[in-house]
Protein backbone atom coordinates (compact mmCIF):
# COMPACT_ATOMS: atom_id res chain seq x y z
CA UNK A 1 0.00 0.00 0.00
CA UNK A 2 1.37 3.43 -0.87
CA UNK A 3 1.73 6.32 1.55
CA UNK A 4 -1.43 8.43 1.28
CA UNK A 5 -1.07 11.71 -0.59
CA UNK A 6 -1.54 15.04 1.15
CA UNK A 7 -4.63 17.10 0.44
CA UNK A 8 -3.72 20.79 0.53
CA UNK A 9 -6.45 23.35 1.17
CA UNK A 10 -4.81 26.39 -0.33
CA UNK A 11 -6.28 29.87 0.09
CA UNK A 12 -5.91 32.05 -2.99
CA UNK A 13 -6.78 35.35 -1.35
CA UNK A 14 -9.15 38.00 -2.67
CA UNK A 15 -8.60 37.72 -6.42
CA UNK A 16 -5.40 39.45 -7.52
CA UNK A 17 -2.96 36.62 -8.39
CA UNK A 18 -0.11 38.70 -6.90
CA UNK A 19 -1.91 38.47 -3.54
CA UNK A 20 -1.40 34.72 -3.35
CA UNK A 21 1.13 33.78 -0.70
CA UNK A 22 4.55 32.64 -1.82
CA UNK A 23 3.63 29.23 -0.39
CA UNK A 24 0.33 29.02 -2.29
CA UNK A 25 2.10 30.08 -5.48
CA UNK A 26 4.74 27.39 -5.02
CA UNK A 27 2.23 24.63 -4.24
CA UNK A 28 0.00 25.53 -7.18
CA UNK A 29 2.74 25.70 -9.77
CA UNK A 30 3.94 22.26 -8.72
CA UNK A 31 0.55 20.57 -8.32
CA UNK A 32 -0.34 17.52 -10.40
CA UNK A 33 -4.00 17.62 -9.33
CA UNK A 34 -5.95 20.82 -8.69
CA UNK A 35 -9.55 20.80 -7.46
CA UNK A 36 -11.91 23.78 -7.26
CA UNK A 37 -15.56 24.60 -6.69
CA UNK A 38 -17.68 26.32 -9.30
CA UNK A 39 -21.25 27.00 -10.26
CA UNK A 40 -22.29 24.66 -13.09
CA UNK A 41 -21.57 26.21 -16.47
CA UNK A 42 -19.19 28.85 -15.09
CA UNK A 43 -15.40 28.93 -15.06
CA UNK A 44 -15.39 29.64 -11.34
CA UNK A 45 -13.58 32.42 -9.51
CA UNK A 46 -10.94 30.18 -7.89
CA UNK A 47 -10.02 28.63 -11.25
CA UNK A 48 -9.92 32.08 -12.86
CA UNK A 49 -7.40 33.35 -10.29
CA UNK A 50 -4.92 30.54 -11.05
CA UNK A 51 -5.22 30.86 -14.85
CA UNK A 52 -1.79 30.53 -16.43
CA UNK A 53 -0.14 29.17 -13.27
CA UNK A 54 -0.81 25.44 -13.58
CA UNK A 55 1.45 22.73 -14.96
CA UNK A 56 0.69 21.72 -18.56
CA UNK A 57 0.04 18.13 -17.39
CA UNK A 58 -2.19 19.10 -14.46
CA UNK A 59 -5.41 17.16 -13.81
CA UNK A 60 -8.21 19.57 -13.06
CA UNK A 61 -11.09 18.50 -10.83
CA UNK A 62 -14.11 20.77 -11.15
CA UNK A 63 -16.55 20.36 -8.25
CA UNK A 64 -19.85 21.85 -9.43
CA UNK A 65 -22.38 23.00 -6.83
CA UNK A 66 -25.76 21.32 -7.41
CA UNK A 67 -27.40 24.54 -6.19
CA UNK A 68 -26.26 28.04 -5.19
CA UNK A 69 -29.02 30.63 -4.85
CA UNK A 70 -31.88 28.76 -6.60
CA UNK A 71 -33.22 27.35 -3.31
CA UNK A 72 -33.39 29.38 -0.08
CA UNK A 73 -30.95 28.38 2.67
CA UNK A 74 -33.93 27.66 4.92
CA UNK A 75 -35.29 24.93 2.60
CA UNK A 76 -34.26 21.52 4.02
CA UNK A 77 -33.52 20.34 0.48
CA UNK A 78 -30.66 22.87 0.33
CA UNK A 79 -28.73 21.17 3.12
CA UNK A 80 -29.54 17.69 1.79
CA UNK A 81 -28.34 18.45 -1.71
CA UNK A 82 -25.15 20.10 -0.49
CA UNK A 83 -24.45 17.30 1.93
CA UNK A 84 -24.67 14.69 -0.85
CA UNK A 85 -22.50 16.92 -3.04
CA UNK A 86 -19.77 17.28 -0.40
CA UNK A 87 -19.78 13.52 0.20
CA UNK A 88 -19.33 12.85 -3.52
CA UNK A 89 -16.45 15.34 -3.73
CA UNK A 90 -14.85 13.81 -0.65
CA UNK A 91 -14.95 10.31 -2.14
CA UNK A 92 -13.27 11.52 -5.30
CA UNK A 93 -10.51 13.42 -3.50
CA UNK A 94 -9.95 10.68 -0.98
CA UNK A 95 -9.47 8.12 -3.75
CA UNK A 96 -6.60 10.23 -5.10
CA UNK A 97 -5.02 10.55 -1.67
CA UNK A 98 -5.41 6.80 -1.08
CA UNK A 99 -3.58 6.20 -4.37
CA UNK A 100 -0.64 8.22 -3.03
CA UNK A 101 -1.31 11.38 -5.02
CA UNK A 102 -0.92 14.84 -3.48
CA UNK A 103 -3.56 17.32 -4.55
CA UNK A 104 -4.38 20.98 -4.09
CA UNK A 105 -7.88 22.28 -3.44
CA UNK A 106 -7.89 25.98 -4.29
CA UNK A 107 -10.16 28.22 -2.24
CA UNK A 108 -11.18 31.85 -2.68
CA UNK A 109 -10.17 33.95 0.33
CA UNK A 110 -8.98 32.12 3.44
CA UNK A 111 -9.97 28.43 3.61
CA UNK A 112 -11.15 28.49 7.25
CA UNK A 113 -13.12 31.76 7.03
CA UNK A 114 -16.67 31.08 5.76
CA UNK A 115 -15.33 28.87 2.98
CA UNK A 116 -16.78 25.86 1.16
CA UNK A 117 -13.49 24.02 1.69
CA UNK A 118 -14.41 23.60 5.37
CA UNK A 119 -17.14 21.14 4.41
CA UNK A 120 -14.55 18.95 2.70
CA UNK A 121 -12.01 19.41 5.47
CA UNK A 122 -14.37 18.12 8.16
CA UNK A 123 -15.11 15.02 6.04
CA UNK A 124 -11.50 14.35 5.03
CA UNK A 125 -9.37 15.20 8.03
CA UNK A 126 -9.90 11.92 9.90
CA UNK A 127 -8.97 9.85 6.84
CA UNK A 128 -6.17 11.59 4.92
CA UNK A 129 -3.33 13.98 5.64
CA UNK A 130 -4.83 17.46 5.15
CA UNK A 131 -2.82 20.70 5.30
CA UNK A 132 -4.29 24.20 5.15
CA UNK A 133 -2.57 27.33 3.87
CA UNK A 134 -4.15 30.58 5.15
CA UNK A 135 -4.64 33.51 2.82
CA UNK A 136 -5.52 37.17 2.56
CA UNK A 137 -9.24 37.55 3.16
CA UNK A 138 -11.59 39.38 0.83
CA UNK A 139 -12.30 41.80 3.68
CA UNK A 140 -8.62 42.80 3.93
CA UNK A 141 -8.62 43.58 0.22
CA UNK A 142 -11.86 45.53 0.66
CA UNK A 143 -10.63 47.82 3.42
CA UNK A 144 -7.35 48.28 1.55
CA UNK A 145 -9.43 49.36 -1.47
CA UNK A 146 -11.07 52.10 0.64
CA UNK A 147 -7.56 53.37 1.46
CA UNK A 148 -8.41 53.60 5.16
CA UNK A 149 -7.75 51.41 8.23
CA UNK A 150 -10.66 49.29 9.38
CA UNK A 151 -9.76 49.27 13.10
CA UNK A 152 -7.82 51.52 15.49
CA UNK A 153 -6.81 51.05 19.11
CA UNK A 154 -9.46 49.04 20.97
CA UNK A 155 -12.11 49.03 18.21
CA UNK A 156 -14.44 46.03 18.22
CA UNK A 157 -14.82 44.57 14.73
CA UNK A 158 -17.88 42.48 13.92
CA UNK A 159 -18.07 40.39 10.80
CA UNK A 160 -21.69 39.84 9.77
CA UNK A 161 -23.31 37.82 7.02
CA UNK A 162 -26.05 39.57 5.04
CA UNK A 163 -28.05 36.35 5.29
CA UNK A 164 -28.80 37.06 9.01
CA UNK A 165 -32.21 38.39 10.08
CA UNK A 166 -32.55 42.18 9.98
CA UNK A 167 -33.03 42.56 13.75
CA UNK A 168 -29.88 40.65 14.51
CA UNK A 169 -27.92 42.63 11.93
CA UNK A 170 -29.14 45.95 13.38
CA UNK A 171 -28.26 44.90 16.92
CA UNK A 172 -24.69 43.90 16.07
CA UNK A 173 -24.26 46.97 13.89
CA UNK A 174 -25.19 49.14 16.87
CA UNK A 175 -22.78 47.50 19.30
CA UNK A 176 -19.59 47.14 17.26
CA UNK A 177 -17.20 49.95 16.29
CA UNK A 178 -16.15 48.58 12.92
CA UNK A 179 -18.23 46.40 10.61
CA UNK A 180 -17.60 44.00 7.77
CA UNK A 181 -20.73 42.69 6.05
CA UNK A 182 -20.38 39.85 3.56
CA UNK A 183 -22.76 37.69 1.50
CA UNK A 184 -24.56 40.73 0.13
CA UNK A 185 -26.29 39.96 -3.20
CA UNK A 186 -30.06 39.93 -2.79
CA UNK A 187 -29.74 40.82 0.90
CA UNK A 188 -28.69 44.38 0.17
CA UNK A 189 -32.00 46.12 0.95
CA UNK A 190 -32.25 44.32 4.29
CA UNK A 191 -28.66 45.34 5.06
CA UNK A 192 -29.40 48.97 4.14
CA UNK A 193 -32.39 49.00 6.50
CA UNK A 194 -30.37 47.47 9.33
CA UNK A 195 -27.54 49.98 8.86
CA UNK A 196 -30.04 52.86 8.94
CA UNK A 197 -31.62 51.53 12.14
CA UNK A 198 -28.14 51.33 13.70
CA UNK A 199 -27.24 54.86 12.57
CA UNK A 200 -24.31 53.55 10.52
CA UNK A 201 -25.67 53.93 6.99
CA UNK A 202 -23.92 57.18 6.08
CA UNK A 203 -20.56 55.78 7.15
CA UNK A 204 -20.86 52.59 5.10
CA UNK A 205 -18.81 51.78 1.99
CA UNK A 206 -19.57 49.24 -0.70
CA UNK A 207 -16.63 47.45 -2.32
CA UNK A 208 -17.21 45.22 -5.33
CA UNK A 209 -14.57 42.88 -6.76
CA UNK A 210 -11.89 43.89 -4.24
CA UNK A 211 -8.34 43.63 -5.68
CA UNK A 212 -9.63 42.63 -9.12
CA UNK A 213 -9.38 44.72 -12.32
CA UNK A 214 -13.08 45.65 -12.11
CA UNK A 215 -12.87 46.77 -8.45
CA UNK A 216 -15.27 49.55 -7.44
CA UNK A 217 -15.38 51.52 -4.18
CA UNK A 218 -18.26 53.83 -3.32
CA UNK A 219 -20.25 55.10 -0.38
CA UNK A 220 -23.20 52.76 0.07
CA UNK A 221 -25.51 55.79 0.21
CA UNK A 222 -24.29 56.80 -3.24
CA UNK A 223 -24.53 53.34 -4.78
CA UNK A 224 -27.47 52.85 -7.06
CA UNK A 225 -30.31 50.64 -5.88
CA UNK A 226 -29.12 47.55 -7.64
CA UNK A 227 -28.35 43.96 -6.87
CA UNK A 228 -24.64 43.93 -6.19
CA UNK A 229 -22.54 40.75 -6.56
CA UNK A 230 -22.83 38.19 -3.76
CA UNK A 231 -19.13 38.59 -2.99
CA UNK A 232 -19.32 42.35 -2.52
CA UNK A 233 -18.35 43.62 0.90
CA UNK A 234 -19.82 46.47 2.94
CA UNK A 235 -17.56 48.17 5.47
CA UNK A 236 -17.92 50.67 8.28
CA UNK A 237 -14.53 51.83 9.55
CA UNK A 238 -13.77 52.06 13.26
CA UNK A 239 -12.80 55.44 14.69
CA UNK A 240 -10.87 54.35 17.78
CA UNK A 241 -7.88 55.74 19.67
CA UNK A 242 -5.07 57.17 17.61
CA UNK A 243 -2.08 59.16 18.86
CA UNK B 1 11.92 68.98 -8.76
CA UNK B 2 11.80 65.19 -9.03
CA UNK B 3 8.64 63.09 -9.05
CA UNK B 4 7.94 62.07 -5.45
CA UNK B 5 8.73 58.48 -4.57
CA UNK B 6 6.00 56.06 -3.55
CA UNK B 7 5.74 54.95 0.06
CA UNK B 8 4.60 51.33 0.17
CA UNK B 9 2.95 50.02 3.31
CA UNK B 10 3.57 46.33 2.86
CA UNK B 11 1.96 43.74 5.11
CA UNK B 12 4.23 40.79 5.92
CA UNK B 13 1.57 38.50 7.31
CA UNK B 14 1.75 36.47 10.50
CA UNK B 15 5.45 35.55 10.61
CA UNK B 16 6.27 32.69 8.24
CA UNK B 17 8.20 34.26 5.34
CA UNK B 18 6.41 31.90 2.92
CA UNK B 19 3.14 33.56 3.94
CA UNK B 20 4.18 36.88 2.42
CA UNK B 21 2.21 37.64 -0.71
CA UNK B 22 3.95 37.33 -4.06
CA UNK B 23 3.57 41.11 -4.36
CA UNK B 24 5.11 41.82 -0.94
CA UNK B 25 7.96 39.44 -1.73
CA UNK B 26 8.64 41.21 -5.04
CA UNK B 27 8.50 44.71 -3.55
CA UNK B 28 10.79 43.81 -0.65
CA UNK B 29 13.46 42.10 -2.72
CA UNK B 30 13.63 45.15 -4.97
CA UNK B 31 13.45 47.85 -2.29
CA UNK B 32 16.30 50.35 -1.86
CA UNK B 33 14.88 51.68 1.42
CA UNK B 34 13.10 49.54 4.00
CA UNK B 35 11.58 50.99 7.18
CA UNK B 36 10.24 49.07 10.16
CA UNK B 37 9.09 49.60 13.73
CA UNK B 38 10.81 47.99 16.67
CA UNK B 39 11.16 48.24 20.41
CA UNK B 40 14.47 49.93 21.30
CA UNK B 41 17.25 47.38 21.66
CA UNK B 42 15.35 44.61 19.84
CA UNK B 43 15.67 43.36 16.27
CA UNK B 44 11.94 43.72 15.76
CA UNK B 45 9.51 41.11 14.47
CA UNK B 46 8.94 42.77 11.07
CA UNK B 47 12.68 42.99 10.41
CA UNK B 48 13.14 39.38 11.54
CA UNK B 49 10.56 38.13 9.02
CA UNK B 50 12.41 39.70 6.06
CA UNK B 51 15.87 38.49 7.14
CA UNK B 52 17.80 37.30 4.10
CA UNK B 53 15.41 38.88 1.59
CA UNK B 54 16.79 42.42 1.30
CA UNK B 55 19.17 43.81 -1.31
CA UNK B 56 22.81 44.01 -0.19
CA UNK B 57 22.76 47.79 -0.77
CA UNK B 58 19.46 48.40 1.07
CA UNK B 59 19.13 51.33 3.45
CA UNK B 60 17.38 50.20 6.62
CA UNK B 61 15.34 52.67 8.63
CA UNK B 62 14.63 51.44 12.16
CA UNK B 63 11.78 53.35 13.82
CA UNK B 64 12.12 52.71 17.56
CA UNK B 65 9.06 53.15 19.77
CA UNK B 66 9.78 55.56 22.63
CA UNK B 67 7.49 53.47 24.82
CA UNK B 68 5.57 50.19 24.50
CA UNK B 69 4.16 48.79 27.74
CA UNK B 70 6.13 50.91 30.27
CA UNK B 71 3.32 53.50 30.53
CA UNK B 72 -0.40 52.57 30.64
CA UNK B 73 -2.44 53.46 27.56
CA UNK B 74 -4.63 55.66 29.76
CA UNK B 75 -1.73 57.93 30.75
CA UNK B 76 -1.89 61.10 28.61
CA UNK B 77 1.90 60.99 28.25
CA UNK B 78 1.52 57.76 26.25
CA UNK B 79 -0.40 59.45 23.45
CA UNK B 80 1.85 62.52 23.54
CA UNK B 81 5.04 60.50 23.25
CA UNK B 82 3.70 58.35 20.44
CA UNK B 83 2.33 61.34 18.59
CA UNK B 84 5.76 63.04 18.61
CA UNK B 85 7.33 59.74 17.56
CA UNK B 86 5.01 59.27 14.57
CA UNK B 87 5.60 62.88 13.47
CA UNK B 88 9.36 62.34 13.56
CA UNK B 89 9.07 59.12 11.54
CA UNK B 90 6.80 60.83 9.04
CA UNK B 91 9.29 63.68 8.47
CA UNK B 92 12.06 61.18 7.80
CA UNK B 93 10.04 59.08 5.36
CA UNK B 94 8.54 62.09 3.62
CA UNK B 95 12.02 63.54 2.99
CA UNK B 96 12.92 60.36 1.11
CA UNK B 97 9.73 60.47 -0.94
CA UNK B 98 10.30 64.17 -1.70
CA UNK B 99 13.77 63.27 -2.97
CA UNK B 100 12.17 60.88 -5.45
CA UNK B 101 13.01 57.68 -3.60
CA UNK B 102 10.52 54.82 -3.32
CA UNK B 103 10.50 53.10 0.04
CA UNK B 104 8.85 50.12 1.70
CA UNK B 105 7.49 50.20 5.24
CA UNK B 106 7.16 46.61 6.40
CA UNK B 107 4.28 45.83 8.76
CA UNK B 108 3.48 42.70 10.76
CA UNK B 109 0.09 41.29 9.83
CA UNK B 110 -2.18 43.42 7.64
CA UNK B 111 -1.29 47.14 7.54
CA UNK B 112 -4.86 48.42 8.01
CA UNK B 113 -5.86 45.99 10.77
CA UNK B 114 -4.81 47.37 14.19
CA UNK B 115 -1.35 48.23 12.84
CA UNK B 116 1.16 50.95 13.75
CA UNK B 117 1.54 51.75 10.07
CA UNK B 118 -1.90 53.38 10.12
CA UNK B 119 -0.50 56.22 12.23
CA UNK B 120 2.07 56.95 9.52
CA UNK B 121 -0.45 56.49 6.72
CA UNK B 122 -2.83 59.12 8.10
CA UNK B 123 0.05 61.61 8.37
CA UNK B 124 1.58 60.83 4.96
CA UNK B 125 -1.31 60.20 2.61
CA UNK B 126 -2.12 63.86 1.88
CA UNK B 127 1.52 64.64 1.04
CA UNK B 128 3.05 61.66 -0.79
CA UNK B 129 1.90 58.78 -2.97
CA UNK B 130 1.15 55.93 -0.52
CA UNK B 131 0.20 52.41 -1.59
CA UNK B 132 -0.87 49.63 0.76
CA UNK B 133 -0.48 45.89 0.21
CA UNK B 134 -2.85 43.77 2.33
CA UNK B 135 -1.60 40.63 4.02
CA UNK B 136 -2.57 37.50 5.87
CA UNK B 137 -3.62 38.46 9.40
CA UNK B 138 -2.23 36.89 12.53
CA UNK B 139 -5.74 35.68 13.32
CA UNK B 140 -5.91 33.69 10.05
CA UNK B 141 -2.65 31.99 10.96
CA UNK B 142 -4.00 31.33 14.46
CA UNK B 143 -7.19 29.59 13.38
CA UNK B 144 -5.24 27.67 10.75
CA UNK B 145 -2.94 26.53 13.58
CA UNK B 146 -5.94 25.10 15.47
CA UNK B 147 -6.77 23.06 12.35
CA UNK B 148 -10.44 24.10 12.51
CA UNK B 149 -12.58 26.71 10.74
CA UNK B 150 -13.29 29.87 12.71
CA UNK B 151 -16.71 30.58 11.15
CA UNK B 152 -19.47 28.57 9.47
CA UNK B 153 -22.66 29.66 7.72
CA UNK B 154 -24.03 32.82 9.34
CA UNK B 155 -21.71 32.90 12.35
CA UNK B 156 -21.01 36.37 13.75
CA UNK B 157 -17.29 36.86 14.38
CA UNK B 158 -16.20 39.52 16.86
CA UNK B 159 -12.60 40.65 17.07
CA UNK B 160 -11.82 42.00 20.52
CA UNK B 161 -8.74 43.62 22.04
CA UNK B 162 -7.69 42.34 25.46
CA UNK B 163 -7.13 45.97 26.46
CA UNK B 164 -10.93 46.54 26.65
CA UNK B 165 -12.71 46.67 30.04
CA UNK B 166 -13.83 43.31 31.39
CA UNK B 167 -17.55 44.12 31.23
CA UNK B 168 -17.37 45.08 27.60
CA UNK B 169 -15.34 41.97 26.76
CA UNK B 170 -17.86 39.73 28.52
CA UNK B 171 -20.81 41.35 26.75
CA UNK B 172 -19.33 40.93 23.27
CA UNK B 173 -18.18 37.40 24.10
CA UNK B 174 -21.77 36.50 25.00
CA UNK B 175 -23.32 37.90 21.83
CA UNK B 176 -20.95 36.69 19.10
CA UNK B 177 -20.67 33.14 17.75
CA UNK B 178 -16.96 33.15 17.03
CA UNK B 179 -14.31 35.18 18.86
CA UNK B 180 -10.82 36.40 18.15
CA UNK B 181 -9.08 38.12 21.07
CA UNK B 182 -5.82 39.93 20.44
CA UNK B 183 -3.44 42.11 22.51
CA UNK B 184 -3.26 39.52 25.28
CA UNK B 185 -0.04 39.87 27.33
CA UNK B 186 -0.79 41.18 30.81
CA UNK B 187 -4.54 41.25 30.07
CA UNK B 188 -4.84 37.47 30.16
CA UNK B 189 -6.44 37.13 33.60
CA UNK B 190 -9.08 39.74 32.73
CA UNK B 191 -9.76 37.90 29.48
CA UNK B 192 -10.09 34.57 31.31
CA UNK B 193 -12.63 36.10 33.71
CA UNK B 194 -14.63 37.63 30.85
CA UNK B 195 -14.68 34.33 28.94
CA UNK B 196 -15.90 32.51 32.06
CA UNK B 197 -18.68 35.06 32.59
CA UNK B 198 -19.74 34.58 28.96
CA UNK B 199 -19.70 30.78 29.26
CA UNK B 200 -17.04 30.52 26.53
CA UNK B 201 -13.97 29.66 28.59
CA UNK B 202 -13.94 25.90 27.98
CA UNK B 203 -14.18 26.43 24.21
CA UNK B 204 -11.27 28.88 24.03
CA UNK B 205 -7.90 28.16 22.45
CA UNK B 206 -4.63 29.99 22.99
CA UNK B 207 -2.24 30.26 20.03
CA UNK B 208 1.24 31.66 20.55
CA UNK B 209 3.58 32.62 17.68
CA UNK B 210 1.14 31.52 14.95
CA UNK B 211 2.93 30.27 11.79
CA UNK B 212 6.36 30.66 13.40
CA UNK B 213 8.76 27.83 14.30
CA UNK B 214 7.93 28.18 18.02
CA UNK B 215 4.14 28.08 17.44
CA UNK B 216 2.08 26.57 20.26
CA UNK B 217 -1.63 25.68 20.28
CA UNK B 218 -3.44 24.70 23.47
CA UNK B 219 -6.81 24.94 25.16
CA UNK B 220 -6.81 28.11 27.22
CA UNK B 221 -8.10 26.10 30.20
CA UNK B 222 -5.01 23.88 29.96
CA UNK B 223 -2.54 26.72 29.53
CA UNK B 224 -0.53 27.47 32.64
CA UNK B 225 -1.23 30.68 34.50
CA UNK B 226 1.51 32.65 32.87
CA UNK B 227 1.97 35.90 31.03
CA UNK B 228 1.71 34.94 27.37
CA UNK B 229 3.25 37.10 24.62
CA UNK B 230 1.37 40.28 23.69
CA UNK B 231 0.90 38.96 20.16
CA UNK B 232 -0.73 35.70 21.24
CA UNK B 233 -4.27 35.16 20.04
CA UNK B 234 -7.23 33.56 21.80
CA UNK B 235 -9.93 31.98 19.65
CA UNK B 236 -13.40 30.56 20.13
CA UNK B 237 -14.63 28.78 17.01
CA UNK B 238 -18.13 29.32 15.64
CA UNK B 239 -20.43 26.32 15.38
CA UNK B 240 -22.82 27.55 12.67
CA UNK B 241 -24.74 25.85 9.89
CA UNK B 242 -22.98 23.12 7.99
CA UNK B 243 -24.49 20.72 5.46
Q: Are strands A7-11 and A103-107 parallel, antiparallel or unpaired?
A: parallel
Flag if A149 and B110 touch (Cβ within 8 Å). no
Q: How many whole angstroms separate alpha carbon A88 and alpha carbon A97? A: 15
> Any long-range contacts for A204-207 (C-beta under 8 Å, 24+ apart)?
A204/A179, A204/A234, A204/A235, A204/A236, A205/A146, A205/A234, A205/A235, A205/A236, A205/A237, A206/A232, A206/A233, A206/A234, A207/A141, A207/A142, A207/A145, A207/A146, A207/A232, A207/A233, A207/A234, A207/A235
Q: Which helix (H) or strand (E) holds B35?
A: strand B33-39
Q: What is the pLDDT of residues A44-60, one digit of tens each?
A: 999 999 999 999 999 99
Q: Which residues of chain A have pLDDT under 50?
A: none
Q: Which of A71, A134, A160, A183 to mutate to test the interface with B (most CBs of B within 10 A)?
A: A134
Flag if B113 and A140 touch (Cβ within 8 Å). yes
Q: Is B232 on the interface with A (CB under 8 A)?
A: no
Buried b / exposed e across B43-67, counting CB within 10 Å, b at 16+?
A: ebbbbbbbeebbeeebeebebebee
CATH architecture of B139-236: 2-Layer Sandwich (3.30)
pLDDT, position A14: 97
Helix, strand, coil share of chain A (percent; to 5): 35, 25, 40
Superfamily of domain B7-136: Tetrapyrrole methylase, N-terminal domain (3.40.1010.10)
pLDDT, position A243: 74
pLDDT, position B79: 85
Q: How many whole angstroms separate alpha carbon B98 and alpha carbon B88? A: 15
State yes or no: ipTM above 0.90.
Answer: yes
From B143, B156, B172, residue closest to A112, measured CB to CB: B143
Q: How many whole angstroms separate alpha carbon A93 and alpha carbon A62? A: 11
Polymer length in residues for chain A = 243
pLDDT, position B145: 98
Q: Are strands A216-219 and A33-39 parallel, antiparallel or unpaired?
A: unpaired
| DSSP-assigned letters across all residues of B69-124 | SSS-TTSHHHHHHHHHHHHHHHHHHHHHHHTT--EEEEESB-TTBS-THHHHHHHH
pLDDT, position B1: 61
Instruction: Enter the DSSP assignment of A196.
Output: H
Q: How many whole angstroms separate alpha carbon B163 and alpha carbon B169? A: 9
Q: How many whole angstroms separate alpha carbon B37 and alpha carbon B48? A: 11
Polymer length in residues for chain B = 243
CB A8 within 8 A of CB A124: no
pLDDT, position A67: 76
* Chain A residues touching B18 at Cβ < 8 A: 21-23, 26
Flag if B137 and A137 touch (Cβ within 8 Å). yes
| DSSP-assigned letters across all residues of A118-145 | HHHHHHHTTTS-EEEE----HHHHHHHH
Question: Cα distance from B69 to chain A (closest Cα, Å)?
Answer: 14
Buried b / exposed e across B73-97, counting CB within 10 Å, b at 16+?
A: eeeeebeebbeebbeebbeebbebb
Q: What is the pLDDT of residues A110-123, one digit of tens each?
A: 999 999 999 999 99
Q: Is B187 on the interface with A (CB under 8 A)?
A: no
Flag if B175 and A176 touch (Cβ within 8 Å). no
> Any long-range contacts for B56-59 (C-beta under 8 Å, 24+ apart)?
B57/B32, B58/B31, B58/B32, B58/B33, B58/B34, B59/B32, B59/B33, B59/B34
- pLDDT above 90 covers a percentage of chain B that reads 83
Q: Is A144 on the interface with B (CB under 8 A)?
A: yes
Flag if B22 and A23 touch (Cβ within 8 Å). no
Flag if B176 and A158 touch (Cβ within 8 Å). yes
Q: What is chain B's pLDDT, residue by residue, as a tens digit (243 residues)?
A: 679 999 999 999 999 999 999 999 999 999 999 999 999 888 899 999 999 999 999 999 999 998 766 777 778 888 888 899 999 999 999 999 999 999 999 999 999 999 999 999 999 999 999 999 999 999 999 999 999 999 999 999 999 999 999 999 999 999 999 999 999 988 999 999 999 999 999 999 999 999 999 999 999 999 977 778 777 999 999 998 777
Q: Is A23 on the interface with B (CB under 8 A)?
A: yes
Q: Where are the domains of chain A?
A: 7-136, 139-236
pLDDT, position A1: 60
Amino acid sequence: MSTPGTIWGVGLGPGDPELLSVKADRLLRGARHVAFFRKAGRQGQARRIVEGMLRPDVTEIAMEYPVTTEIPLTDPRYNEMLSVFYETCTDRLRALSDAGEDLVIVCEGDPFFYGSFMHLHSRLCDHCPVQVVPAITGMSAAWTATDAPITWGDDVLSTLMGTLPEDMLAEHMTRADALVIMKIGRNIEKIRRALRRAGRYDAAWLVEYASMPNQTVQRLSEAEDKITPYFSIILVHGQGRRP
